Amino acid sequence: MILVYIEIRDGKVKRSSLEALSAAKRMSEDLGAATAVFVGNDLGDIAEEAFRYGAEKAYFLESPALSRYSPSAYALALSALIEETKPSAVLFSATSMGRDLSPRLAAKLGVSMISDATRLSVREGKIEAVRPIFAGKALATFSLDSSPQMLSLRPNVFPLGEPQNKSGEVIKKEVEVPEDRLRDRVAEVIKEEGAELDVTEADIIVSGGRGMKGPENFELLKGLAQILPHAAVGASRSAVDSGWIDHQHQVGQTGKTVSPNLYMAFGVSGAIQHLAGMSSSKTIVAVNKDPEAPIFKIADFGIIGDLFQVIPPLKEELQKVLAE
């Protein structure tokens, strides 16, 4: 059995978790059936989407103490299930929550883990995972001797399987979380006013760097993102450090790792830390006045020019094309 942690945000299953579930389904002949696990309280019929993407059954770990994310409580609930069911592997999506929860769980179980995998294969019952190292300069292949094999998968890299009209078994388990074991809890969730699509969930990312010259010019990128389907605004670390845009938009080694279908970089020089977070994008378009900017080395298409002269006509042409 391959156990896949399914992340829920705002009552919805995150696409990146379904990508991990699809990856588990493709390995099921070698490692056992793909099985979803949900953690929360009063989860309802949310398992239906997991069954459509390959889960044979789903575990619901429920408790009032799990209604909001708590690293210690979630790790406690998952470790008990893993010790009971003895899965061959446990998969997470390498989202913010997945990166927080999976190493805590691995430490609790006393096993090793591979984080941010971008390719998977199975050889003699072991998962071989490829992941970037040295800030994306090289790729390395790893396998695990500990059991269960625990991995987190980079979002937007693994393709979704074809959805099927199927159902499966839901196994509900009441979880006891003693107060003395609950070391952390979310007291309140405060959402940014007018919150936008998260960059890790976007199919298209319109990103800006130091070349944007100020916070007011990010409105140009927001306007461009608004006319594109399922698009979000990203930023380099220099733009975030300058206070031009919030950290939640930051792409890179110290920000978020993304792999959209299209990454458009405006005024982004392409420091290695930024490239580490977006180099696996399907198509990269770069606009920069500096012909020697490192971003051009990985870009599929590049424009050497002033972004303030490029964005208005680009937006106009996109509006025409999308209106047809």
pLDDT digits (tens, 9 = 90+) for 76-120: 999 999 999 999 999 999 988 999 999 999 999 999 999 999 999
Q: What domains are defined for the chain?
A: 2-181 (3.40.50.620), 199-323 (3.40.50.1220)
Does 291 sit behind a cis peptide bond, omega within 30 degrees of 0 on the bond before it? Answer: no
Q: Are 142 and 129 in contact (CB under 8 A)?
A: yes
> How far separated are the first and last CA of the chain, in Å rounded?
48
Per-residue pLDDT tens over the stretch 257-296 = 888 999 999 999 999 889 988 988 999 999 999 999 999 9
Q: If you average pLDDT over every residue of the chain, what do you get?
A: 91
The neighbour count for residue 136, using CB atoms within 10 Å, is 20
At 187 the pLDDT is: 79
d(CA 293, CA 296): 6
- DSSP assignments along 120-134, one per residue: EEEETTEEEEEEEET
Q: How confident is the model at residue 193 (pLDDT cuts 50, 70, 90)?
A: low
Q: Could you tell me the pTM of the whole model?
A: 0.80
Give me the sign of the Cα torsion angle 225, 230, 233, 235: negative
Indicate the DSSP class of residue 300.
S
Task: Give the sign of the dihedral formed by CA 252, CA 258, CA 259, CA 264.
Answer: negative
pLDDT over 80 at 195, yes or no: no
